[in-house]
Structure 1
Amino acid sequence: MVSISSCDKNDDDSPQEPVSQLPPATMTGANTFGALLDGEPFIPSGGINPLDCVYQLINGERFFGLQGNKRNENFNLLSLTLSTNAKEIEQGQTYQLIEEADGNATGIYGLSGDLFFTNSIQTGEMTITRLDLNTQIVSGTFFFDIIDGNGNLRQIREGRFDMRFTQ
């Protein structure tokens, strides 16, 4: 007599790997955003404005802003933001996420209204994989490090976005 048995801890077929829980990296204007925040999936949800993207021309200068918001288990508002200040973005280009200043790209981590910025030591990168001004679609990938208000290193990895933006 032969007996075969197997044990599968994941009977519900839902993805358990953190990266697989993020939205796919697309370039169609799907209005998706996600990253791993300290190894855990960060996907904007709930609230009045969980996801917002702009690429505006103001006084002859371009400003890009993409922000995702969600509440954590303690109901604190968490946000991840990518922005440029008086800097045009281009398809196929990679931008260093450093301190917030004219001509720079910056990564921002927010916790309950307190904002923490990339700088010359805690940096990252944002790569624009698609930019179409006619259809108003911007897609890309990103990662960055931040030191929060308690001195903790926050690691944002595997970031991706595929957004329709307002001008």
Structure 2
Amino acid sequence: MKTFYSKILILVLSLIIFSCSTNDDDGTNSDLPEITSEGAYTFGCKINGQVFLPKNDQGCLNCGSPNPLRLGYSQDRENDEYHLSVIARNDINGDASINLDLYLDEPLEERVYDLSESYIPSIDRTWPNASSSIYREISGETINSYFKTTSEVTGTLEIIEINESERFIAGIFQFQAINEEGKVLNFTDGRFDIRIY
């Protein structure tokens, strides 16, 4: 009987260990998610033609890694500013993140916005509307740099649905971003459909 319980204990411990094992699938061989507007918790784009999907290096949801996908939308009532923030991160086989930031003086609408850079009066600073930190191989090239949109290197973000009752925002995007050395990356076929946190 003791042997039976020992085997059960070993089996249970094995399942726990393997449920939180590292994940080697970085998503680059996957398809992009469909363009949806239902709060489906999806994000995807291509970086220089290579698929980017948000993922963390854990095989389970509660293994301590930060959430690889977040969307926030808020209003600073004191300064009458609105801020949309979409953050997607993949830390498998290196690290890559994409940030989309809109700073607005009116509420977000279902329309096309320019992704360049915004002046933010409350902090007296210009900030990129899209940026990416990449420390991994992209389309066969090792990249270790920070890229951002500027007034000359730009793109677009189209908000296709804002659902206040279900608390999600969906959009499509494309942009170019440049690093300090003048290298430009292309972010194409972008889409997201995320609940507001």
| TM-score, structure 2 normalization | 0.67
After the TM superposition, which residues 7-156 of structure 1 pair with which residues of structure 2 at under 5 Å, given as runs? 21-46=31-56, 47-59=65-77, 60-71=80-91, 73=93, 75=94, 77-87=95-105, 88-91=107-110, 93-102=111-120, 106-111=129-134, 115-156=146-187
Following superposition, the deviation at residue 155 of structure 1 comes to 0.4
The alignment's C-alpha RMSD in Å is: 2.4
Q: Quick one: structure 1 residues 164 and 155, their matched pair in 2 at CA, closer, same or farther if it must change by over 3 Å?
A: same
Larger Rg over CA atoms: 2
| TM-score, structure 1 normalization | 0.78
**Regions of 4+ moved over 6 Å:** none
Counting aligned pairs with the same residue, the percent is: 27
Amino acid at match of 2:44: G
Contact 2:128 2:149 in 1 (8 A): no
Amino acid at match of 2:84: F
Structure number with higher helix proportion: 2
Contact 1:35 1:160 in 2 (8 A): yes
Query: What CA distance in whole angstroms lies between the structure 2 residues aligned with 1:34 and 1:23?
Result: 6
Q: Which runs of 5+ in 2 are unaligned?
A: 1-27, 57-64, 122-126, 136-143
SS of the aligned residue for 1:24 comes to coil
Query: What CA distance in whole angstroms lies between the structure 2 residues aligned with 1:49 and 1:150?
Result: 31
Report the count of equivalent residues.
146
Query: What CA distance in whole angstroms lies between the structure 2 residues aligned with 1:135 and 1:57?
Result: 18
